[in-house]
Amino acid sequence: MRDADRFYINGEWVEPTTSGTMDVLDPSTEKPIATVALGGAEDVDRAVKAARAAFETFSTTSVAERIALLERIIEVYQTRGEDLARTLMAELGAPAALANSAQVGAGLGQFASALDALKNFQFDEDRGTTRIRYEAIGVCGLITPWNWPPLLIAAKIAPALAAGCTVVLKPSELAPLNAVIIAEVLHEAGVPAGVFNLVHGDGAGVGTALTSHPDVDMVSFTGSTRAGVEVARSAAPTVKRVAQELGGKSANVLLDDVDLATAIPRDMGDVCANSGQSCNAGSRWLVPQSRLSEAEEIAKKAAEAIVVGHPEDEGVAIGPLISQAAYDKVQRLIQSALDQGATLVAGGLGRPEGLDSGYFVRPTILTGVTNEMEIWKEEIFGPVITLTAYSDDDEAVRLANDTVYGLSGFVSSADVERARSVARRLRTGMVHVNGNGLDFAGAFGGYKQSGNGREYADFGLKEFLEIKTIFGFGS
């Protein structure tokens, strides 16, 4: 693996102004594979100045020019898919199948989604003699996490470029290497100098400098709710727009008429994909009291069938968690649930058998979980599912909504109209009915402490646009 020891600013790879570095670890071996530079306020200022200068020209480009640019990005991205997959296997521990298909493919899907939105978006609208005009918001600070990096980076860069904005990206310092490849893709595709800039670093050194910078017009952040609060505080004095996709504790409502033998293995795979490290994972399962024993038995078999291991090994479904801190948190929450009265159905504490190093976690099922337990309330970010019994649909909805989060939700029923009825009652930004997955034509984002704003398609494009009203334009 190459080091992430330089920053991409104003169309060039430049040396950091700081000397701090950090090891990038392979989470399946716990060994260093590269070094990432930790930038500071001066590096951020250089990048923002480059983006501000480039905005004067890039914001005036035509829709046709930006369509052509996104088409070139997509073309070059496809040539680097294998490089991205190998990098994600190393810095995330992502199994080969996940890295090659879902991880790399999701990034490509976001560029394609933004391209489609740009082709169909009306930047000017007349209402009588009044013209409504959508214009690029300006310089955007983009902060992305490590769990789905190509997806989350592309979900911000692509609509920002489509809108005519310029950007400064701070990827996660835990998995920065894929961002270097994406920067190379953008450079090869001909993104003008200063339009895209990349500064590596941590939240204290780079994130705060970026979110508080007076020449940054907007911040788009994906990460924990705790970190999102700090981003909002940092951005508040300059009254910049802040779009946030934050934490989740999504409920999966299995109604009493559902085929559990089909739904449970399907939904188990969804939660455990990417080692459970997805903000929208439906990890709180709500099961009819009359069918709880049946659900426990099926869930146990499904969990025990999941193969955990090193990313290059044959048949591996899930790899390690990202870090020691992530591993420790999952272990703590499992222990907390057991201490508070939950019953272990499958998995449990420690690494899976045969794995003596790496941040590997057992796919775990806990039953008898109540809404007073810590594991009910706190986002776990691991392959851990809780089972809670309910008496009727009203109680299921009440329990599903009993959380400070509101990112996603899941509901399954043999009666699709009944499932739709429950879906409408869930206080979440997204709901998956009968196992249907994400659609990049939809809007991604949540209610309550799961954030504000939306990503994907035209919803994501609008986040990077200001609205100008010109009265008397047509008089």
List 91, 173, 245, 463, catalytic entry: 245
Structure-block tokens of residue 381: 């970010």
Give CA separation, 216 vs 40, 45, 160, 165, 169, in Å: 16, 10, 13, 11, 12
Catalytic pick among 140, 165, 272, 279: 279
Identify whether 245 is a catalytic site residue: yes
In the residue annotation, 140 being an active-site residue is answered as no
Q: How far apart are CA 453 and CA 73, in angstroms?
A: 25
- Tokens for 116, please give them: 């489609």
Kindly list the catalytic residues.
245, 279
